[in-house]
Structure formats: C-alpha cells, structure tokens
Amino acid sequence: MLEWLSHPENSKPLGLLIFFVTFLGILWFVFGNRQRGQKLESYKDIPFLDEEEQAPGVHPGAAKAGDGEGVARTGSDMKGKS
C-alpha cells in the first residue's frame, strides 16, 4: 500500500479527493445549519459599520493636531535638530 502511494500518479488524485471531501465537510458544517449560516451572513458588513459611526473627514488612526505625529517635516525644519 505504501509503495502504491509513493507514486505521484497515485497520490495526487488521492490527495485531491481527501482535500475536496474536507472542503465539502467544512462547507456543510458552516452553512448546513440555517441559524449558523444566517449568523455568518450578518457578519459580512462588519468592516463597514465603524465608518458610519465616525464624523465625516476623520480617518481611523489619524494623528491629533499638536501631538507631533504624522506631521511632514521639510529639510529646513530639520536643521539643527537631531
């Protein structure tokens, strides 16, 4: 049996079959239960929810005015500072 699996022409289709059956099993587990499927479908809009709650023009992670972060400095601003 192990010698039969050592040949690529035998092991590749078997591996494909194993992965395909595993993939179908995962799909059945996730979407087979109607409640779980609906719950997962409700999660699809999560990345867009926090954008609606922010004030217009404010981006997440933007530096506050006066904290010195995110400020572009020119060469003349950097003279004498190290």
Give long-range contacts, CB 8 A cutoff, 24+ apart: 14-19: none
Higher pLDDT pick, 81 / 8: 8
- Per-residue pLDDT tens over the stretch 15-71: 899 999 999 999 888 778 888 878 888 888 888 887 655 555 555 555 555 555 555
CA 48 to chain centre: 14
Judge whether 60 and 50 are in contact, CB under 8 Å: yes
Q: What is the DSSP string of the chain?
A: -HHHHTSHHHHHHHHHHHHHHHHHHHHHHHHHSHHHHHHHHHGGGHHHHHHHHSPTT--TTPPPTTS-TT----HHHHTT--
- Per-residue pLDDT tens over the stretch 2-16: 677 677 777 888 889
